[in-house]
Amino acid sequence: MRAGASPESIDAVLKRVEELGFRAHLSRGEERTIVGVIGDERPIDPEQFESLDSVERVVRILQPYKLASRDFRRERTIVNFGNIQIGGPGIVIIAGPCSVESRSQLLETAHAVKEAGAHALRGGAFKPRSSPYSFQGLGLEGLELLAEASEITGLPVITEVVSPTDVPTVGKYSAMFQIGTRNMANYALLHEVGRSGRPAMLKRGMSSTIQELLMAAEYILSNRNYDLVLCERGIRTFETATRFTMDINAVPLLNELTHLPVVVDPSHATGKASLVAAGSRAAIAAGADGLIVEVHPHPERALSDGAQSLRPEQFASLVRECRDIARAMGRGLYGAVS
């Protein structure tokens, strides 16, 4: 739309899009309003929109991921997550245990990560595992404990949702949904999270390309849920020395291709606690908007992912290092002056 387009002219375009059987996606930037025309792959004659009042031009988005593309939205998207924002100048650090194991374990971790400088709390209540014999999480009890920890510490909570039917329940207890690597292509789940309108973090599938990640994001965005954060968490390669291979190239590449915020999970990307700090520093230097890190007060007793979990004192050191790297990049940690 032209700069200063009236609400009436924008409404007229939206109405025309829907009359033609497409869906209209409105993106309001600081200088421009963009109307995305989304639907099947029928050819659209640009002239039927160019003739409408206040339409400046019609641009075809060539990428298969339309709404995630920079062509659709030039400005970076900022996602509100509880009382914090992801995607702005401040880098957000999310920390907590892989799994909620008990009330004492979760509260001890939550207090420790908050004191060290974490902005949000992570923790799994439902845990999809490779083995059916591994700890699968506490379920509803875990969600209730996460909500209690959030109320006590003031940290917003992100937790994984694994089934479309669980979306309403998980949404009652958390500020953000996490869609794990094994569910990146669970399209029924993606649709339901999109329809929920709640903030979500979409993790890259362990064997997925960047385009496949962005196409999965499109499922959520196509349901008009734009509060979406992408997460690079390592991919499978021929290398066996680490649990996964941390694709650091994905961070600047995603920043080129999409307007969505990008965070990195150095815990899963490396699988080794001794490598998490280095991976975190690299992620921030590459342009990540945040980190999601696993922390456990007693990793040797953890019921899942103990080998990659930091002790609280290690996490506190990591936050200090990340603050320095952020400053060097002309940024700062969220809520702090760089």
pLDDT at 165 over 80: yes
Question: Which position has the higher pLDDT, 44 or 218?
Answer: 218
> To 10 degrees, the CA torsion angle through 325, 316, 230, 101?
170
Amino acid at 250: A
Candidates 3.20.20.70, 3.40.1350.10, 1.10.3720.10, 3.40.50.2000; CATH matching 79-333: 3.20.20.70
What phi, psi does 200 have (nearest 5°)?
-145, 150
Residue 228, pLDDT above cutoff 80? yes
Decide: residue 50, CB within 10 A, 0-12 exposed, 13-18 middle, 19+ buried: exposed
Instruction: Fill in the amino acid letter for 187.
Output: Y
Q: What is the pLDDT of residue 250?
A: 98
pLDDT band at 135 (very low <50, low <70, confident <90, very high): low
Q: How many CB atoms lie within 10 A of CB 337?
A: 7
The three-state secondary structure class of 6 is coil
Q: How far apart are CA 283 and CA 204, in angstroms?
A: 15
pLDDT at 337 > cutoff 60:
no
- pLDDT over threshold 80, residue 97: yes
| Strand, helix or coil for residue 202 | strand
Given a cut of 90, whether residue 258 has pLDDT beyond it is yes
Please determine, for residue 8, whether its predicted confidence score (pLDDT) is greater than 70.
Answer: yes
Domains 7-50 and 79-333 share a fold: no
% residues pLDDT > 70 (the chain):
96
pLDDT in tens, 33-58: 899 988 876 777 888 888 888 999 89
Domain assignments of the chain as residue spans, ordered by start: 7-50, 79-333
pLDDT of residue 29: 76
Contact between 181 and 212 (Cβ < 8 Å): no
255 with 291: CB under 8 angstroms?
no
Q: For position 138, what pLDDT does the model report? A: 87
Q: How confident is the model at residue 74 (pLDDT cuts 50, 70, 90)?
A: confident
Q: What is the largest CA-CA distance in the chain?
A: 67
Q: 90-96 and 290-294: which strand pairing? A: parallel
**Residues 212/122/292/165 CA torsion (nearest 10 deg):** 0
> What average pLDDT is seen over the chain?
93
CATH code, residues 7-50? 3.30.70.1140
Alpha-carbon gap, residue 194 to 218, rounded angstroms: 9
Q: How far apart are CA 92 and CA 338, in angstroms?
A: 13
pLDDT score for 59: 87
Look up tokens 């789940």; give the residue. Answer: 189
Judged by DSSP in three states, 116 sits in helix
**So what's the pLDDT on residue 330?**
95
